A and B are shown apart, each in its own frame.
Chain A
Amino acid sequence: MTIDAYLAELERRLPRTARRRVVVEAQEHLRDSAARHRAAGLSPHAAETAAVENFGSVEIVARRLAVEGAIRETRISTLVALGAVAFFVVPLYVVPENTLPPAPWAEKPRDIFVLQLVSIAFWLGAGALATASAALAWTRWSRLAAPVLTAALVAIAGSVLVAAALVERWFAAASETPAWPLLAAPLAAGCVAVCALATAWSYRRADLLTG
Chain B
Amino acid sequence: MRDALKGHVDLLLLSALEDEPAHGYELVETIRDRSEGEFDLAEGTVYPSLYRLERRRLVASGWETVSGRRRRVYRLTTSGRRKLLKERSDWRAFAQAMEAVVT
Contact = CB atoms under 8 A, between A and B. Distances in A.
Given A68-B51, A68-B52, A28 B44 contact: no
A100 interface: no
B69 A65 contact: no
Nearest to A64: B48
Interface string A22-33: 101110110011
Most-contacted residue by chain A among B51, B52, B55 (CB, 10 A): B51
Contacts of A33: 25, 43
A60 B46 CA distance: 12
Interface residues of B, number: 18
9 contacts: A29-B24, A56-B42, A56-B44, A58-B44, A60-B44, A60-B45, A65-B48, A65-B51, A68-B51
A150 B51 CA distance: 28
Interface in A18-46: 21-22, 24-26, 28-29, 32-33
A71 interface: yes
B43 A55 contact: yes
Contacts, number: 57
A26 B44 contact: yes
Interface string B36-57: 0000101111011001100100
Contacts of B52: 68
Given A21-B72, A65-B47, A65-B48, A28 B25 contact: yes
A17 interface: no
A54 B72 contact: no
Contacts of B48: 61, 64-65, 67-68
A54 B44 CA distance: 8
B55 A68 contact: yes
Nearest to B27: A29
A19 to B, nearest CB: 13
Given A22-B47, A61-B47, A71-B55, A29 B42 contact: no
